[in-house]
Structure 1
Amino acid sequence: MTEVLASGDHFIAPQLFVDALRAAAPGAELTFRTQTTPWPHTPFGPVGNVKEASGTEEELLEALGDAEIALVQMAPFTDRVIREAPNLKLIAVARGGPVNVDVEAATRAGIPVTFTPGRNAAAAAEFALGLMLAAMRRIPASDAELKKGTWRGDYYAIENAGIELDGTTVGLVGYGAIGGIVARVLRAFGSHVLVHDPYADPARAAADGVELTSLEDLLRRSAVVSLHARVTPETRHMLNADNLKLLPRGAVLVNSARGELMDYGPLPDMLRSGHLGALALDVYDVEPPPADWPLHGAPNVITTPHLAGATRQTADRAAAVTAAQAAAHLRGERPEFVVNPQVFDAEGTAGQGRSS
């Protein structure tokens, strides 16, 4: 009998993990422990030495008990938790990146950590496109004004009119699963798509009909720029005061990826001057942004509370992929999506860092 912790929240419920693993491993003898962390009703944040986590170390350790496998969404697998859970053999995370896990500590303990690449790719791509269109055509602003009794017919004046995606150059920073979907939809709209991603496959880009280029060239040529990169030491503040000024006057900027990709400091002045025509954000340098956040008072800003991945299909997909990783472990196989493959020996066996 294998004991499993299903640690969910109010997006991916623990029972979703339980049902997914029973379906993925129908013959396995399993017993489940469950935990529900408070996210998203309570924002995630740093816990111990990990970030973007929900709940406490004490709550997680109590929930874990002697579990061998953890199916987890936001719970904080810190160095302390990993040290104090000697029976743990697999941490399967239902997120695109296991930022709530101390991967180095797990690696020292010989514990594979799995993740779910592309779990919210469709949802995030659709949301980015929605933000793009909303910003380009002033949809939220005109809706709010009309509800207040103001008919903004002057949006038809040429100096206020929006722009179309058809025939417009759109720059995508990042060309992974999400960026690829956005690019294909933009091509269907008739946009010319520029991509900056040092790791992009030129053959894939050619097949998708997009043009690979440098970040500086992309910023100079794009009427619309949308971010789809991960945060690394190289990408943190990759858009900043030095290169944002390269944007054409009136450009639209969309960030539904990660707040740390941008330096938000220059943006209020760029919006007030008209150099930046509109800004659409789903992510922030501080989440949630404070009441005195400078962009709250800037013109032509659309803000949403980190909702790009919030679809029911994302939850179902994440649970299914996470369960598939655990099912592979139960069969004695190496899971497909492992962030620390060095824990496996030549025969593909993991868990050698500490005794069984």
Structure 2
Amino acid sequence: MNNQPASGYPVLAAGDHFILPGIFRTELEHRMGGAVAVSELEFDWPDAPFGDVAEVSEASGTEDRLIEALRGQKAVVTQLAPLTRRVLEANPQLEIIGVSRGGPTNVNIAAAEELGIKVVNVPGRNGIATAEMTVGLMLALSRRIPESHTALAERRWRGEFYRHAEVGPEINGSTIGLIGAGAVGGHVARVLHAMGATVLVFDPYAKPVSLDGVATLVDDVDDVFARSTIVSVHARLTEETRHIVDAERLALMAPGGHLVNAARGPLVDYDAVVAALESGHLAGAAFDVFPTEPVDFDHPLFTLLDKGYNIVMTPHIAGASKQVAVRAAAGVAEEVRRHLAGEAPLHELTAIGATAARA
């Protein structure tokens, strides 16, 4: 941790190996210069997985280390610091917490509210990155890109991928269904539309005008499965959306369809996906998220992968880009500037509203 300068509003930049403390510092000082005194703390994520810390989740680091680093700080900007009730009660001088992500699961919002600490976040920070990755997963799946690459790396020429039974569909001309059309799904819809797809969207909260001329909103999620060649999941994780992709809905798809999930693992019943792949009803599936993370390598998905099924998997990296790290840091830095200037926050969270942001 860097020594704190002698003057200026004290802010802790609690970064990690993705959003580096120095990125937070740069964005804070760009907006406020010497008006802020930035200290730095760096956690081990993603080299070490995040997890539960006391009552918060998706957190990196320890309460004790954070309590010590927060001594004398009036603000903290972070992605994953474990801002538990114990941490907050040990640092009553805190005025504002800037969480550089959409889902502030690493912060006890209720405790912060009780203690009069403002909590702000950066919704949609990785929408474009995740949308681009989603389209990339679709292309990798339909065009067999990972398998083809692996074969060549192993010095094998797999010309059979040109067989009619092996080739997949183009985006152009396909009907693609999206479950959810927020910051990620909405951008996916626009990209797919530009590529010539017919896009169907199920999202009870989407504003029709936001997708006017780009996608068709449908009222019944089952209709999306019944009409789509490819289904991609972009919903927030709630009790209502848990396992929104299940055996019954997969069965509604025409044989030979593809499924993509780069949102949250529990949105999909992965055992149902395995059964649909084994039966041949699904021709392929692509995942950036899983039921548990880090993944259980004994899960049947990996058995199918070893057997040559058309499965594409990446380790929850859809939201990772250079621009996301800067955009996230810039978002919380702007919130600290507004706080110091007495301006209204752009994205303030309350205990009630936090549940909706946890996606």
TM-score for the superposition, normalised by structure 2: 0.92
Matched letter for residue 168 of structure 2: G
1:339 aligns with 2:345: no
The range that moved more, 210-219 or 41-50, is 210-219
Give the drift of 1:334: 2.0
1:316 aligns with 2:306: no
Matched letter for residue 27 of structure 2: A
Deviation string 1:126-183 (CA, Å, 9 cap, x unpaired) is 1100001000111101211232233222222222121111110001111011111111
1:53 aligns with 2:59: yes
1:25 aligns with 2:35: no
Which secondary structure state, in structure 2, belongs to the residue aligned with residue 265 of structure 1?
Answer: helix
Two-structure CA RMSD over aligned residues (Å): 1.6
Which secondary structure state, in structure 2, belongs to the residue aligned with residue 65 of structure 1?
Answer: coil
Deviation string 1:244-267 (CA, Å, 9 cap, x unpaired) is 221221111111111111111112
Contact 1:16 1:316 in 2 (8 A): yes
1:186 aligns with 2:192: yes
1:293 aligns with 2:299: yes
Matched letter for residue 333 of structure 2: A
Deviation >4 Å, runs of 4+: none
Provide the residue aligned with 1:254 in structure 2.
Answer: 260
Provide the residue aligned with 2:244 in structure 1.
Answer: 238
Matches within 5 A, 1:83-122: 83-122=89-128
Matches within 5 A, 1:155-166: 155-166=161-172
Which secondary structure state, in structure 2, belongs to the residue aligned with residue 71 of structure 1?
Answer: strand
1:281–1:316: structure 2 CA closer, same or farther, 3 Å change rule? same
Matched letter for residue 313 of structure 1: Q
Taking the aligned partners of 1:66 and 1:230, their CA distance within structure 2 comes to: 36
Q: 2:312 aligns with which of 302, 314, 321?
A: 302
Which secondary structure state, in structure 1, belongs to the residue aligned with residue 271 of structure 2?
Answer: coil
The range that moved more, 205-214 or 273-282, is 205-214
Unaligned 5+ segments in structure 2 are 1-7, 354-359
1:280 aligns with 2:274: no
Matches within 5 A, 1:161-176: 161-176=167-182
Matches within 5 A, 1:67-86: 67-86=73-92
Taking the aligned partners of 1:162 and 1:242, their CA distance within structure 2 comes to: 24
Provide the residue aligned with 1:351 in structure 2.
Answer: none
Contact 1:46 1:53 in 2 (8 A): yes
Taking the aligned partners of 2:235 and 2:65, their CA distance within structure 1 comes to: 33
Give the drift of 1:18: 1.3
The range that moved more, 188-197 or 241-250, is 241-250
Which secondary structure state, in structure 1, belongs to the residue aligned with residue 64 of structure 2?
Answer: helix
Matched letter for residue 272 of structure 1: E
Taking the aligned partners of 1:146 and 1:15, their CA distance within structure 2 comes to: 40
Which secondary structure state, in structure 1, belongs to the residue aligned with residue 330 of structure 2?
Answer: helix
1:8 aligns with 2:8: no
Deviation string 1:41-84 (CA, Å, 9 cap, x unpaired) is 11111111111110011111111112111101111111211121
Provide the residue aligned with 2:356 in structure 1.
Answer: none
Contact 1:33 1:64 in 2 (8 A): no
Provide the residue aligned with 2:3 in structure 1.
Answer: none
Taking the aligned partners of 1:209 and 1:321, their CA distance within structure 2 comes to: 29
> Identity of paired residues, percent?
45
Which secondary structure state, in structure 1, belongs to the residue aligned with residue 342 of structure 2?
Answer: coil
Matched letter for residue 219 of structure 1: F
Contact 2:201 2:215 in 1 (8 A): no
